[in-house]
Structures are given as C-alpha cells and as structure tokens.
Amino acid sequence: MKQILKNLKKSFGTKYVKYGGFATVMTVCVAVGIILLNLIVQQIAPQLDLTKNKLFSLSEQSRNIAESVKNPVIIYGVWEPSGEHTQAKEIAERYAAKNHLIRFEAVDPDLNPGLLKQFDKDGKGIAKGSLILSGVKGFKIIAPQDMYDVYYNQQQQPQLTGVAIEKRITSALLYADAGETPKVYEITGHQETPLTFLEKTLEQENYQLLQLNLLNAPVPDDAGAVILCNPISPLGPEETEKLFSYLEKGGRLIALLDYRSGAMESVNTLLAGWGAEFGYGITAELDPNYRISGRTPFELFPIMSPHPITDSLIAGKTPALMPLPMGISETALKRRTVKTAPFLSTSRNSFLRTDLQNAGQEQSPEDTPGPITLGLAVLDPEYPESGAGQTRIALFGNAFFLDLVSQIPGNLDLFMNALAWTSDRPEILSVGSRSTFTMRLQMTLAEGLIVGILFVIVIPLTCFVLGLITWLRRRHL
C-alpha cells in the first residue's frame, strides 16, 4: 500500500501530470468565468443592434420625443402569446424604457375583446399584430401592414423596401401625448397632380390633407403648409397675390414642378422676392454613380447636401430617385433677409436640356452644364425675432418622384421631411423608415479592371510569395 501511495505521489511530479493539471485548472477557470459573465450580462441586459440599418434602434429624435412625453401613454401590442410581433414589441419596449410614463402591454385579442372595442370606432376590427398607442389626448392604431414599406413590381410580387415601425410609433406617440393634427392644403384648379394617394400616409404622420382653390378663398389662417404640385395651367394674378400675401406673413409652401408645367412664369414671379426660380428643361446625369446602370441619364439619384430635409436620408444612406427633373436657380436679386440652401443637386458631369426636341443623351453646346440644383430651401428671415413669422419654402424641380414613393422609400421620406421642415415640425424630421433598399455599386470598365486585378492577381500572389518566403526560411532552421 505504501509503495502504491509512493508511486502515486511520484507520478504527480511528472511533466505530463503538471501540464495536464495546469490545463485542467485553466479549463475550469475559463468555464467559471463564462458562467459568471453570463450571470452579469443577464443582470445588466445590454442590447446591441448589429443589423445593417439599425432596425431595432431608436434615432436620437425618437429618444428625445419619448423622454419629453408629459402624459401617460400605453402601447398595446395586439397579439396572442404564441404569435407576438417580435420586432414591434422590442422597439415599443425601447420607448417604454426611455420614460416611466410610457408603458408597453401585450393584449390577447381573444381574451380582451372589451378593451379593444373602445378603440374600434368603425367596427371593422383591429388586426392581430397591430399596435395601439393610447394617451389622454387620443389614440392611434398602427396596423401590421403599415409597419413596413412594401411595393409591388411589374409581376405584382411584394417586395420589402423599408421598416417603418419606429417612424409610425413616434408619430402616433406625438398625437397620443399632444393630440395635434396640422392642416395641409393642396392648391387645386390648375390640373395639379392630386395628392390623394398620400392621404393615408399624411394621416399616419398626423396631418390632415385639405383642398384649396385660391379663386374662391385665401389661404386659411390654420394652414400648417400649402402644397403646389405640378400645375399644368398658370396661376392667375389674383391667386398669385393671395399666395404672396400668405408667404409675406410667414407662410409655408412646397412647390413641385417639372417640365410638364412649362416655364410657369406665374410661379417664378411669386418666388422672385425670395431669390429662386424654376428653369425649364430636363436634367441629365452622366456620372454612372448617380444613375441606374443601363437606364436613361434623365433618371437620376440626386446628390444630397446636409439640410434638415435630407439629414436622415444621408445618415441612413437612403437614396431618392428623380425621373426627368427640372433645374432650380438662385437669383441675384432677393431680399437681404433671405437664406437659400440647395439640398438636392447633380454632379458636375450633368447638364440641363432646354431644347426638348433633342432626344440625344449626350451633352450638346446648347445645354446648360452642371451641377444643377434640383431642390432648394428658402428661409425668410433666417433668424426671426421672438414671435415673428418665418417664411419657409421648399422647392423641388420634379413631381414625378412622387409617383415612385411606393417603390423607392427615400422618395417618400424626402417629401415627408420637406413637409415637416416647412410646417416647422422638427420633432419628426429625423425619423424615417429604415431602408432595406441597397444601391448597386457602379464602376466604369477601368475601375472594374483595377479591382479585378487587385483581388484576383495581386492579393493572392502576394499571399503566395509571403508564404513561400516563410516556408523557405523555416526549412533551413
């Protein structure tokens, strides 16, 4: 027995046992460390959003709005326990974490029909997967189909282009807390493009869309903004005077014109005092980085400059597409108090064509060389005195882009941001859909050749040479 114990004691002194014992101790320590780390993580519960476009994160503007809520708001998630809307729930809970007055609660529609009935005003029922934001000033229902931007291609197949859960919740939260609905008037009577297709979207963003015929009435005092969308016939002197008087008193205007409107001298006369005018023609983009490969240069992705209208799109890398856009110019004669800021433009490798009989796609001597301004913002005055009105005008040299709002999420965000800026609603400017749209990398033949040589020949050959050198050196050790 003594010999056995002696041999056992001696075996502990061997290098195999020492190394094995050290490895065992290290394995146990690592395992204990992992267990402790998991316990700590569960207590702290950190959350990292690793999705490409931060689909589960709140923008700074949404966080600020959630923190500023002054009245109790309950966010109801309408779903069964086995069919919860995971993404909507997680985003709603992030709002609740920012303010103790905001509370999230899941509601089983089969077990709580009485609770949901008070929100079902039209008796059509509330779809499972919906969110209901209820506050002291009112409530808003976000249907599951409204939480995403979807468009149908030519084969009528749905394609997801953006996630709008945060955008919808932030807008509904503002209404539930404050109960305000700004009125937006679209000018009629000149064969304008009607905005009825945007009525639901405007309602979701807490706007009320109304029509205005300037021949019958002036701009109402309760107008949050006025929209002039692609008039075919010119405005009359009386209508121009009414719009001028409205803007003089700190009015808000969005004007969207393209070549279908013609030269539109009546609009340019209206805008003359604020240093802007539309230039008749069609803009072409020759830089392949700002157009769709294989498509006409008259369909282009405008370059976005930093501005409240475009900041959220720039941050989210969300493109907008403009077909057949018209140019906008800044005039030399304007009021000293006016501040103009181009927010959409083309590259230097572009031009404005005024002779529409010329169907060529290359620049001719008669064309105006780029860059061409496609979007212009006007402030008057830039810094108003306390209580004084501030005129805000957003000009787009294109109305066609509104036809693509269901296909290109950036187009809708661009228009809604312009409306939020002109109507002075900074609280929703930075909240847009999280785009799932990806722009293709556009490269010239030379650039493609360089990239191909670099990744197919240079890098592999370099790795081979370095490996060969290392092998030869070790061979002689």
Q: Which residues contact 201 (CB under 8 A, 6 or more apart)?
A: 405, 412, 416
Domain ranges of the chain: 2-44, 53-180, 183-435, 444-477
Q: What is residue 24's predicted lDDT score, i.e. its pLDDT?
A: 74
Q: How far apart are CA 164 and CA 357, in angstroms?
A: 42
| CA distance to 280, 372, 404, per residue, from 346 (Å) | 16, 5, 19
Pairing of strands 299-300, 322-323: antiparallel
Torsion of CA 101, 104, 108, 109, to 10 degrees: 60
Fold of 183-435: Rossmann fold (3.40.50)
Q: Selecting from 3.40.50.880, 3.40.30.10, 1.20.1250.20, 3.40.50.1400, what CATH number does the domain 53-180 have? A: 3.40.30.10
Strand partners, 407: none
Which pLDDT tens digits describe the chain residue by residue (477 residues)?
665 555 555 555 565 555 566 667 777 787 888 888 777 765 555 555 545 555 556 777 778 888 888 888 888 888 888 877 888 888 888 888 888 888 898 888 888 888 888 887 777 788 888 888 888 877 888 888 877 766 555 555 666 667 778 878 888 887 777 767 889 999 999 999 899 889 888 887 888 899 999 999 999 988 999 999 999 999 999 999 999 999 999 999 999 998 888 878 889 999 988 999 999 999 999 998 898 877 889 999 999 999 999 988 888 788 899 999 999 999 888 888 899 999 999 999 999 998 888 888 888 888 899 899 999 999 988 888 766 688 999 999 999 999 888 778 789 889 999 999 998 877 666 565 565 555 455 556 677 788 778 888 888 888 888 888 887 777 665
Q: What is residue 463's predicted lDDT score, i.e. its pLDDT?
A: 85
CB 379 within 8 Å of CB 339: yes
Q: What is residue 433's predicted lDDT score, i.e. its pLDDT?
A: 58
Taking CB atoms within 8 Å and a gap of at least 24, the contacts of 444-453 are 444/288
For 368, the token pair is 């105006």
DSSP string, 159-192: EEEEE-HHHHHHHHHHHHHH----EEEEE-SS--
CB 283 within 8 Å of CB 351: yes
Q: What is residue 436's predicted lDDT score, i.e. its pLDDT?
A: 57
Q: What is residue 117's predicted lDDT score, i.e. its pLDDT?
A: 84
pTM as predicted: 0.70
